[in-house]
Amino acid sequence: TFPCIFVLDDFEKELAEIKSLRNAEDKTPLSGYLINILDAVVSSKGREFYGTPRSTFSNYIEKVLHPTYTGSR
């Protein structure tokens, strides 16, 4: 059997509220920042993490977040 695998696009309904958030002062949309952070935290808590080669975002998840959340440092 295949492991339980999800991608961010599987959660469009759940992300709707985050996508509507804006900075109170200048009304800048915050979703571009918050969704990336949420994606990194959720993916780093999995048993395994496979990132994109040479991606600084994947490298951060693999080297910092994943070991921190899974206790595999």
State pLDDT tens for residues 26-45.
Answer: 999 999 999 999 999 999 99
Does residue 3 fall inside a structural domain?
Answer: no
Domain encompassing residue 39: 13-70
In a domain, 42, yes or no: yes
If one counts the domains in the chain, the total is: 1
The reply to whether 31 falls in a domain is yes
Assigned domain for 40 exists: yes
- Domain presence at residue 7: no
pLDDT range class, residue 58, cuts 50, 70, 90: very high
Q: Quick one: how far is CA 31 from the chain centroid?
A: 12
The answer to whether residues 33 and 18 touch, using CB atoms and an 8 Å cutoff, is no
